[in-house]
Amino acid sequence: MHARPVRRRDTSFLSFRARIPADIVDATKGQAIALAFPAEAGEPEHVALVRPGREVKFSLRIRNPAVAKSRRGIALAQLETRWNAIRSGPKPLTHRQIIRYRARCAGRSGRLQPGVPGAGCGHFAVGPSGDA
């Protein structure tokens, strides 16, 4: 991995580039990963949507090297969390997590409709720690 954000020749924005660990390359191919960056130092917040291959690369949408370095750290932390979740695999939910999950689903549509896209539980993401 690069020690600092890199600048491509064809743009003034700094970019992020990092290799994906060899043990999870196949598991991450084709997945879309959203990385969120907060607003800081007068720069707007930014969400990068990336589809990794053997590496993750995207524009940090920033010209300020100090903010770019901060965003690089945020990206590395988010990616490391993702890699650890992929390595550990799916975890069973506790009864309490299932109850919370069902309550959130019911709150979205007013009633539970598992498996129906956009209507309740069928498409609700569970975080890497298993918390719903």
DSSP 36-89: EE--BTTBPPEEEEE--SSEEEEE-----HHHHHHHHHHHHHHHHHHHHHHHH-
pLDDT at 42: 86
Residues of the chain with pLDDT under 70: 1-4, 107-132
User: Are 105 and 120 within 8 A, CB to CB?
Assistant: yes
CA separation, residue 124 to residues 18, 77, 88, 100 (Å)? 29, 23, 20, 12
**Does pTM top 0.85 for this prediction?**
no
pLDDT at 7: 75
Among candidates 45, 65, 59, which has minimal Cα distance to 17?
59
User: Are 113 and 122 within 8 A, CB to CB?
Assistant: yes
pLDDT at 121: 53
pLDDT at 114: 52
Among candidates 10, 37, 23, which has minimal Cα distance to 83?
23
